[in-house]
Structure formats: structure tokens, C-alpha cells
Amino acid sequence: MEQFKTIINSNTPVLVDFFATWCGPCKMMAPILEQVKSQLGENIRILKIDVDKNPALAQQFQIRSVPTLKIFQNGQVKWTGNGVVQADQLAAVIQSVTRLQAT
């Protein structure tokens, strides 16, 4: 939990994917997240949180469905989305809310 707080308090934007191993749409997000990471490179950190293994975090951030994506920067939630989000759309949202440029 402390490590999670340290990560999301970073100046580097963090995309957190709250997922479950049994969730079909969550599995669809894995290659999308890889694509986003390749587009944005070191400008973004992507963190996957299994809600079944981390119920306290899921409760703290009011995760009601999976996948839920949240973008944090300096400890603040900049954006929240639910369901499968396409790579180009997700990269555009990240760049918009964090003022990042693609690499």
C-alpha cells in the first residue's frame, strides 16, 4: 500500500489498470496497454492492480467494475474510465490530462 502511494504521488503520470484475472475485457486491455506504453515510452508508468488480490485498494478507489482505468499524477486522480478503451483514444486522454507528448 505504501509503495502504491509512493508511485502515484510521482510527477510522472501513472495509468493504473484495476483488473481481475477472470475478466474477459481485462484480458483485452493487456495488448492495448502495451501499445500505449510503446507510444508514450518513459513519459508514463503503467501499473496493473488485481482487485481480487488488493481488495483494500479497490475499495479505497471505489472500483465497482473491471477494467477500471485511472490516471494519477502527483497523487491526484486526473481521469477515470471503465471498460475497454482503444490505444489511440487512451493515449490521447493521457496526453490531454497530463500535458504529455508522444515519444
Catalytic residue set: 23, 26
Q: In the numeric block, which cell numbers belong to residue 33?
A: 496497454
DSSP annotation of 81 reads E
Question: Are the C-beta atoms of residues 97 and 71 closer than 8 Å to each other?
Answer: yes
* Residue from 82, 80, 103, 78 nearest 19 by CA: 82
Q: Residue ranges of the alpha helices (H) in 9-70?
A: 24-40, 55-60
